[in-house]
Structure 1
Amino acid sequence: MDVSKPGVLEGAFFLDGDTAIAEGAICAGCRFFAGYPITPATEIAERMAARLPEVGGVFIQMEDELASMNAVLGAAWGGARAMTATSGPGLSLMLENIGLAVMTETPCVVVNIQRGGPSTGLPTLASQADMMQARWGSHGHYEIIALAPGSPQESFDLTIRAFNLAEKYRTPVLVMSDGAVGHMTERVVIPPAEQISIYPWRRPRQPPGPDFLPYAPDEDGVPPFPIAGTGYRIHMTGLTHDERGYPATTAAAQAQLIPRLIAKIRDNRHDIIDLVEDGIEDAEVVVVSYGVSARTSLLPVQQAREEGL
């Protein structure tokens, strides 16, 4: 991969939400995509397949969603900003390794273009029914970051933010779009590269050596992210582990590790949470909505206010 090749297509475009996500990923520095086609997310894979070779990146169509998520984790540890995209059935398959990404603190982005379920469901029906799965889908006690765009422009913007949050907090980040937003076509403005804020690589300040601890956190509770093949001694496991990355099968080790993984997200909610407030200053009832349904909630709220509610 050649991550030095610029990928920003500056200008105003008429894009669907899926394509906007792909372009946001390219602008954020994503240079690896592994995935498996699934409605209504296939357009992301198609766009990445076309664009990644232009910017020195790698696109791989894997045999299934389990392999796709594994490939993304491997690419991240190899130094790439990496992403996959799927829909509900694929997310169900990926969740085991999303849990592995949480435990190994692997920064990556997982896009879910939600559709009707459960099981195979109705692939062409837009849905927001996977939000609880995003929050609690993998086993164990953990925190996760999920962003929910409501337009193609937000799809572009929040994908960039997803990569920034993944790098900043060393965690998988979910972009929870839906079939309506994914296939909706609207004006999307892609700013010049110098106006796009990209969180820098969180690399160790300590040089490689026998005393380096790959899971020793900085002051904010997040460890720097060493890259495999750069001289650092790295050990990754889904088991509870110590700061060396070695399995530590004691209750004390669990009590030290898991609260830190939770705290690095929970204690930074002021930085992570992003919402738009409209007319709530004097409100007695607040309507909370996200994704495509947030757009349709605006009119009834306005009508209710006009009626004095």
Structure 2
Amino acid sequence: MEVLGEREQFAQGDVACALGALLGGCDFFAAYPITPATEVAEAVAQMIPKLGGMFVQMEDEIAAISAVIGASWAGSRAMTATSGPGFSLMQENLGYACMTETPCVLVNVQRSGPSTGQPTEPAQGDMLQARWGTHGDHELIVLAPNSVQECLDLTRQAFDLAEEYRTPVLVMTDGEVGHMREKITLPDSVTLKERLAPTTSPEDFVPFKATKGKVPEMASFGNGYHTYVTGLTHLESGLPSTDDAEVHTNLVKRLCEKITDNIDKLTNVEVDLQEGATVGIVSYGISARSASGAVRILREKGIKVNFLRLITVFPFPEKTIQEFATGLDRVVVAELNLGQIYHCVREVVEGRATVELMAKIGGEIITPQEIIDSVETPAG
């Protein structure tokens, strides 16, 4: 696509998210400006009309995610982008999207909080909010890029995952990755994964009847099929049923299992092992770049260390983390918060190794030396 520029270009992370969205077939984007995510919206606004899509600047973040949900039900591949305060405002409708099985993509360029916090500084403080920010039992897919190229690649992939599993997919970048500039390469061609279309006539269509993979076929508004859409507990017909325990249990379990049953397929990690290592480092996003540098320096010093980078953060790859921790004495989790994914790791390691936290807040990224110090000086 000429609209997207040269195949190889020097781009900002936020712009790469925009390029990835358009390569992923995004044809509707609604957002409200917020630092440090505004450049995503700005880039999409410049390009999407030339590709026949629509950009809408909404009055706030609640309206933005609402518009995205509506556009998805009208047949669009729809997306928004925001940062911490806006992400908080979107939580109720994020739950609505989970309950109504609405494919959509949300990019969160994380900044330092809570509240208004440090608007121009990077953080990774929204990771557990991404998983549990909306109320009730649910599952969704959360990706964490650590480079400008991955901003492009994972945002593009997010659209396919959203369509395949009929779920919101979150791309959790941060102010550092979002604003850094690196060389990126656009793919020569892209094949899009489409949502499951109805295979029956409108008269026989049951809108929330699960297929073999527990993901229902999806009819779009305006194509002749009648679909009742509600955030209430509902029957396969879509009609509300709020006082039947069996209906609610079956629905919520299916919503979760359509993702958890595919955890092996969804797991995406980078693992770098060294024979004889007794220490492992787990990280993700911008912090993983520093962790990778720390691993290289530690090995040059003769210290054997293993490294695991989470690319898909949720569903959390429990089995992979357990296998990684087996045989280690210590696992150090490095992240730009006071310990969020650390708790997930500690829970699943379950005594296989001591889990320690290398935490940092304040708007500065973790340095390789700080991780080296954590490895060389055990906590406690």
TM over 0.5: yes
Alignment check: 8 A CA contact 1:214 1:234 kept: yes
Please tell me whether residue 180 in structure 1 is matched to residue 176 in structure 2: yes
Q: SS state of the match for residue 291, structure 2?
A: helix
Matching residue's letter, 2:113 = G
Question: 1:11/1:240 Cα in 2 relative to 1: closer, same or farther (>3 Å)?
Answer: same
Quote the offset at 1:10 in angstroms.
5.2
Give the alignment of 1:1-309 within 5 angstroms: 9=5, 11-193=7-189, 196-209=190-203, 211-249=204-242, 250-280=244-274, 282-305=276-299, 306-309=301-304
The one of the two structures with greater contact order (alpha-carbon pairs below 8 A, sep at least 6) is 1
Cα 1:280–1:54 shift into 2, 3 Å? farther
C-alpha contact 1:7 1:27 (8 A) present in aligned 2: no
Distance 1:264 1:280, change over 3 A: farther
1:281 deviates by: 5.3
TM-score (norm 2): 0.77
TM-superposed deviation, 1:302: 2.4
Rounded Cα–Cα distance in structure 1 between residues aligned with 2:72 and 2:118: 33
Following TM superposition, by how much is the alpha carbon of 1:6 offset from its aligned partner in structure 2, in angstroms? 8.4
Alpha carbons 1:8, 1:192 under 8 Å: kept: no
Distance 1:16 1:186 in 2: 7
C-alpha change, 1:167 and 1:6, in structure 2 (3 Å) is farther
Is residue 10–residue 191 contact of structure 1 (8 Å, CA) maintained in 2?
no
Query: 5+ unaligned residues in a row in structure 1: which ranges?
Result: none
User: Which range moves more in the overlay, 211-220 or 31-40?
Assistant: 211-220
Q: Which amino acid in the other structure matches residue 263 of structure 1?
A: E
Runs of 4+ aligned residues of structure 1 deviating over 6 Å after TM superposition are none
Q: CA deviation at 1:78?
A: 0.3
Go from structure 1 to structure 2 and tell me whether the alpha carbon gap of 1:19 and 1:232 turns closer, same or farther (over 3 Å shift). same
> 3-state DSSP class of the match of 2:172?
strand
> SS in structure 1 opposite 2:110?
strand
Matched residues in 2 for 1:23 and 1:114: separation?
19
**Deviation (angstroms), 1:239:** 0.4
Name the CA shift for 1:232/1:293 in 2 (closer, same or farther; >3 Å): same
State the distance in 2 between where 1:127 and 1:192 align: 33
Deviation at 1:205, TM superposition (A): 1.4
Q: Secondary structure at the match of 1:83?
A: strand
Q: Tell me how far apart the structure 2 counterparts of residues 307 and 172 of structure 1 sit (CA, whole Å).
A: 44
Deviations 1:158-214 (A, max 9, x none): 001100100000000000000000000000100222xx24212321111211x3110
Superimposed CA distance per residue, residues 110-131 of structure 1 (whole angstroms, 9 cap, x where no aligned partner) = 0100001000111011000100
Deviation at 1:9, TM superposition (A): 4.2
Bigger mean CA offset, 117-126 vs 278-287: 278-287
Task: State percent identity of aligned pairs.
Answer: 52
Contact between 2:219 and 2:225, CA under 8 Å: does it hold in 1?
yes
Q: Distance in 2 between matches of 1:10 and 1:118?
A: 39
Amino acid at match of 1:98: L
Cα distance between partner residues in 2 of 1:130 and 1:289: 15
2:157 partner amino acid: R
Measured in 1, the distance between the counterparts of 2:238 and 2:31 equals 28
Shift in Å, 1:225:
1.2
| Deviation sequence 1:45-68 (CA, Å, 0-9, x none) | 101111111000000000000000
From the CA coordinates, give the structure whose radius of gyration is larger.
2
Q: Distance in 2 between matches of 1:268 and 1:235?
A: 27
Moved more, 290-299 or 84-93: 290-299
- Following superposition, the deviation at residue 7 of structure 1 comes to 5.9
Q: Which amino acid aligns with 2:287?
A: S
